[in-house]
Chain A
Amino acid sequence: MDRRSFLKAGAATTLGASLSAGMLPFLKVLPASAATADTLVVVTGTTINSLDLHRTGTNRPSYQVSVNCYDRLLTFGTKTMPDGSLSYDYAKLEGELAESWEIAPDGDSVTFKLKDATFWDGKPVTAADVKWSLDRAVSVGGFPTVQMKAGSLEKPEQFEVVDAKTFRIKFLRKSKLTLPDLAVPVPFIINSTVAKANATEKDPWAMEYLHRTPAGSGAYKVERWDPGQQLVYTRNDAWKGGPLPAAKRIIMREIPSQSTRRALIERGDIHLSHDIPAKDAKELGALKTVKVVGTPIENCLHVLCTNLNFEPFKDKKVRQAVAYAVPYQEIFQNAAYERGAPMWGAKSAEPTDIAWPQPFPYSTDYDKAKELLSQTAFKDGFEVPLSFDLGTAEWGEPTALLIQEGLAKIGIKATIDKIPGANWRTVALVEKKLPLHLDNFGGWLNTPDYYFFWAYVKGNLFNSSNYDDAEMMQLINETLHMPMDDATYAPKIKRMIAKAFDDVPRIPLYQPNLDVAMRPGLDGYEAWFHRMVDVRPLTFKTA
């Protein structure tokens, strides 16, 4: 065996087998780490900027800390998808810190019995901790408070400590969203003793302390955090929230370069690469050495948004014309690499069921588009900037280019405008001043009304179309808290969807996948609505 093949063989076999000539000493540690699957390495392309979800400025990738290091009262169950992969189950609520829960007979409150769980410092988890944590979530303002509000959890007065292990939430209104909203990453339970000890007058919620130092009861503790580089989790052996995780240590590594991430998983140097581009998912899926799990993201759509504040799009016919001029198939092929679900070409203009998302009754038909356009004041076409978020350029750019080409065929001249991620929120969502843009909103709580609430109600953040319709508004208000088994629910939802079909302020392109690549020996991966890696169930079996 010559040196080269020796190195190659070494590289092929095991974890972290990154052997260069200069790295030979590394061989010494290799066998130990290879024999057990104690340590798992996960890479992402994004940066964690805080260990406290409640803090202002905490970004999305940081939510994983809430998932992995903290417990909530409730969590969602697991279901097996048709392809055999695992996903969370919106329909099945389970206790995480709650042993059991019970809705009061009058339906005005819910009472939780807490498990005999302890925080990392050994102190038992009490109802007081729960109250302090939920109080915090509804009081700190910003995103956590808004998200709590979506579940009708708005005031500290709603939360009541019954005894050390019993906790009650009083409902403001009856809403089907309240209990699921307790299972999202926001209402996580904090060790209030530790937090209070580190709170100050200016900082009553211990934001500065928890920002860097989590204090929870979750399955993993943070061993070290090198911002911008890595987050290292170590297992909490006393975890009560669920079955004890297999891996003792998990390293979350941040690798900005997408091709590096691909190379790493392809060469087997890491265990899991999270949220990989569609193209990689398609290609890696064909390899034997990599397992790719793709799950359509529930309640999420990649859409082309027209902005009704701008002249050409005030006219519904123009919007419909645009919807007919989108080359859906090409986009699905060249931007989504056929990962996800098509959202075009429905046969009927009326929805047949209340499934959401579901295909819209449009397909690529330039003649029809031209005809529609010719019925408007803009029959000679017009010019419009087509914007997308640079942060989503992966699919956004090819999509925008293809749309640009399609629109050109009916005389609409679109100029492409890439907007840096920092800017995007401001101009697209807050100021809502982009005439035509791509959007990828997905609702955490998996009901159509929830999606419509955010995306079709005037003034709400994700309604970047400035869509404003009285009937739609009323339908959303009526259905938002209504139980799904209510008899009037389905017809109202159908009406909502039909209106969305007809008015098309948002033109769906496809439902995206959340694609994850992993070593074939890795099991237990579960897809979540929050699109974070839940590292707790991951196990890796060495050959």
Chain B
Amino acid sequence: MTLPPKVRLVGRRLLQAAPALAGIIIITFVLTRALPGDPAVYFAGPAADEASIAEIRKQLGLDRSLPVQFVSYLRDLATGNLGTSISTGQPVLTEIVTRLPASLELTLTALLLAIAVAVPLGVLAATRPDSWVDHLCRFVVTAGVSLPTFFTGLALVYLFYYLLGWAPPPMGRLDILFLPPDRVTGFYTIDSLLAGDISAFGSALAHLALPAVTLALFTLAPIARMTRAAMLQVLGSDFIRTARAAGLSRRTVLFGYALRNAMLPVITTLGMVFSFALGANVLVEKVFAWPGIGSYAIEALVVSDYAAVQGFVLAMALLFVALNLLIDVIYTLVDPRLQLEE
């Protein structure tokens, strides 16, 4: 067990991501150029005439051929210049840096919530396959994934904010009267704690609750399903029998042996689930006025905001690459076998 093979493994994953990244850059470029609407017209504002539109088109470099535009796009990318967003008027990089933590805080909270609920459910179902508990778990998680997130979000807002008044108004991450805590991580819950501001923490948490639950409901099913399947498979495997025959207690067998092995495929699934969650995020953020990257993407797309869409997608791609890397690393840590494979 030495470090180098793991380092090599990580290096190889990075290399594997490179062609995908190249593909992403190209697809993004093509896709955004194909977006309808003329940013020059948009930039020119109402009441602009042909001449001023043409001038702005030239200013934006939109009069040049696509390959030329692509080259200058690549050059900008290399220097970290993602352009300026039309819809918010900010440099795209700034936008992403300020908004990403919001999306991440929401997505990660939802994922943690989902894991905290789904894994025990999956284990429970797997230890009693085909029992009513199993059917109930399946029913519940399937119902969760069957609800369109925008619908769940609206329903929760209606119920918990409008009717019951338990939840804060769905308008962002903090109550209006709070100023955001000093930025350390960009996660308001953590930053407010670091700043020692308990009331801001409470507000951040309260605002996080409904959107996180909405998203968690959606991600419950894949995790629970995978846990159940993996647990079932592991519980049926030989080494569990060995462990039982060696007199290990049910607890040790179930959690020490079975669950740990079953977590391997679950970890892999988490990458996928994260991707789903970020996609669903787009709609959830819209419903809860959450100042994240997903709602930003929708707005950008609707106004054909090239730079913003490109920046968003690139940021996402990098995020996924990083995430998959993280998952690989976790996997390597948990599963000693990985070093020898391939």
Contact = CB atoms under 8 A, between A and B. Distances in A.
B169 to A, nearest CB: 5
A425 B42 CA distance: 7
A263 B304 contact: no
Contacts of B305: 422
Interface stretch (A115-123, A248-256, A290-298): A248-256
Given A255-B289, A420-B37, A145 B52 contact: yes
A28 interface: yes
A16 interface: yes
Given A142-B44, A420-B37, A422-B36, A49 B89 contact: yes
A260 B177 contact: no
Nearest to B170: A260
Contacts of A60: 46
Contacts of B198: 25
Interface string B296-307: 100100111100
A204 interface: no
Interface string B89-106: 110000100110000000
B289 A146 contact: no
A514 to B, nearest CB: 17
Contacts of B171: 43, 253, 255, 260, 264
B124 interface: no
A142 B56 contact: yes
Given A33-B177, A57-B42, A461 B47 contact: yes
Interface string B43-72: 111111110110110010000000000000
Nearest to B167: A20
Contacts of A57: 42-43, 45, 86, 89
B291 interface: yes
Contacts of B38: 425-426, 430
A39 B179 CA distance: 14
Given A263-B169, A420-B36, A16 B42 contact: no
Contact of B44 (A8, A24, A50, A56): A56
B278 to A, nearest CB: 18
A8 B37 contact: no
Given A39-B177, A142-B45, A211-B89, A47 B299 contact: yes
B315 interface: no
A94 B55 CA distance: 37
A16, A22, A430: most-surrounded residue (chain B CB, <10 A): A22
A20 B166 contact: yes
B172 interface: yes
Contacts of B87: 47, 49, 59, 228
A416 interface: no
Contacts of B281: none
Contact of B89 (A50, A251, A260): A50
Interface string A362-390: 00000000000000000000000000001
A514 B140 CA distance: 46
Given A18-B175, A142-B56, A430-B41, A23 B168 contact: yes
A228 B296 contact: yes
A423 interface: yes
Contacts of B41: 425-426, 430
Interface of B: 35-38, 41-50, 52-53, 55-56, 59, 85-90, 95, 98-99, 154, 157-158, 160-162, 165-172, 175-177, 198-199, 202-203, 205-206, 209, 286-287, 289, 291, 295-296, 299, 302-305
Given A56-B44, A267-B165, 14 more contacts: A7-B165, A23-B203, A24-B202, A59-B45, A143-B44, A146-B52, A228-B295, A229-B289, A260-B171, A421-B303, A422-B42, A422-B303, A422-B304, A461-B46
Interface of A: 7-8, 11, 16, 18-26, 28-29, 33, 39, 41, 43, 47, 49-50, 55-60, 62, 141-147, 211, 226-230, 251, 253-257, 259-260, 263-264, 266-267, 269-270, 390, 420-426, 430, 454, 461
